[in-house]
Structure 1
Amino acid sequence: MGGRRSVRDQPPHVRRADAAQRQKLLRVRGRSVAWLPPLLLLVVIAVLDWNTSGEFRIISWIVLVPGVAAAICGVWGTAVLAVLSLAAYFIVDASWPHQYQTGLPDFILVAVGGVLAVLACAVRVRGEQRMLHMRDVAETTRRTVLRPLAPGWGDLDHAAVYLSADSEARVGGDFYDIQPGLHGTRVLLGDVQGKGLAAVEAAAALLGTFREAAYHEPLLHTVADRLEIRMQRHVRYTAALGRGDSDRFATAMLIGFPKATPEAPDTIEVVNFGHEPPLVVAPDGVRSLPPGDGLPLGLCELTHGLPPVLSVALDRGETLLLVTDGVTEARDAGGVFFPLHEIVAKAVAQDPRTADPHVLVRFVRDGTLRHSGDHLADDTTIFAVRRP
Structure 2
Amino acid sequence: MSHGGVGHGPHDRLPRAGRRDLVHRHELLRVRGRSVAWLPPFLLLAAITTADYNTTGEFRIISWIVLVPGIAAAICGVWGTAVFAVLAVAAYVTVDNAWPHEYQTGLPDFILVTVGGTLATLACAVRVRGERRALHMRDVADTVRRTLLRPLPPGWGGLEHAGVYLTADVQARVGGDFYDIQPGPHGTRVLVGDVQGKGLGAVETASVLLGTFREAGYHESELASVADRLETRMLRHREYTTALGRSDGDRFATAVLLGFPADRTDVVDVVVFGHEPPLAVGPDGVRYLPAGGGLPLGYGDLAPGPPGVRRVPVAADETLLLVTDGVTEARDADGTFYGLAADVARAVAADPRVTRPTRLVALVRDGTLRHSRGHLVDDTTALAVRRRRAAGGEDPEGGRSPS
Q: For the superposition of Structure 1 and Structure 2, which TM-score range results when normalised by the shorter chain?
A: over 0.9
**5 Å matches for 1:215-294?**
215-261=218-264, 265-294=265-294
Alpha-carbon distance between aligned partners in 2 of 1:146 and 1:330, rounded to the nearest angstrom: 23
Corresponding residue number in structure 1 for 2:341: 341
- Does structure 1 residue 387 correspond to structure 2 residue 387? yes
Corresponding residue number in structure 1 for 2:203: 200
Alpha-carbon distance between aligned partners in 1 of 2:22 and 2:262, rounded to the nearest angstrom: 49
**5 Å matches for 1:1-388?**
21-28=24-31, 30-261=33-264, 265-388=265-388
Alpha-carbon distance between aligned partners in 2 of 1:22 and 1:126, rounded to the nearest angstrom: 12
Alpha-carbon distance between aligned partners in 1 of 2:148 and 2:306, rounded to the nearest angstrom: 25
Check the 8 A contact 1:191/1:252 in 2, yes or no.
yes
Alpha-carbon distance between aligned partners in 2 of 1:362 and 1:56, rounded to the nearest angstrom: 61
Structure-2 change in CA distance of 1:20 and 1:84 (3 Å): closer
- Cα deviation 1:323-373 (Å, max 9, x = unaligned): 000000000010000011111111111111111110111111111011111
Check the 8 A contact 1:292/1:307 in 2, yes or no.
no
CA-atom RMSD in angstroms? 1.4
Check the 8 A contact 2:327/2:368 in 1, yes or no.
yes
TM-score by length of 2: 0.89
- Cα deviation 1:252-303 (Å, max 9, x = unaligned): 0000001134xxx311100000100111001111001125221000101111
Check the 8 A contact 2:291/2:310 in 1, yes or no.
no
Note the C-alpha offset of 1:306: 2.1
Note the C-alpha offset of 1:77: 1.4
- Cα deviation 1:157-211 (Å, max 9, x = unaligned): 1001100011111000000000000111000000000100000000000000000
Note the C-alpha offset of 1:121: 0.2
Corresponding residue number in structure 1 for 2:393: none
> Quick one: which amino acid aligns to residue 346 of structure 1?
R
Percent of pairs identical after alignment? Answer: 71
Q: What stretches of structure 2 of length at least 5 have no aligned partner? A: 1-20, 389-403
Q: Secondary structure at the match of 1:129?
A: helix
Structure-2 change in CA distance of 1:206 and 1:371 (3 Å): same
Alpha-carbon distance between aligned partners in 1 of 2:202 and 2:111, rounded to the nearest angstrom: 55
> Quick one: which amino acid aligns to residue 45 of structure 1?
I
Q: Secondary structure at the match of 1:76?
A: helix
- Cα deviation 1:113-142 (Å, max 9, x = unaligned): 111101110110110010011000000000
Which range moved further: 301-310 or 320-329?
A: 301-310
Note the C-alpha offset of 1:28: 4.8
Structure-2 change in CA distance of 1:19 and 1:187 (3 Å): farther
Check the 8 A contact 1:260/1:266 in 2, yes or no.
no
Alpha-carbon distance between aligned partners in 2 of 1:152 and 1:278, rounded to the nearest angstrom: 20
> Quick one: which amino acid aligns to residue 102 of structure 2?
Q
Alpha-carbon distance between aligned partners in 2 of 1:29 and 1:361, rounded to the nearest angstrom: 33
Alpha-carbon distance between aligned partners in 1 of 2:136 and 2:25, rounded to the nearest angstrom: 16
- Name the count of aligned residue pairs: 368
Alpha-carbon distance between aligned partners in 2 of 1:233 and 1:58, rounded to the nearest angstrom: 72
Note the C-alpha offset of 1:33: 3.4
Note the C-alpha offset of 1:23: 3.6
Note the C-alpha offset of 1:37: 2.2
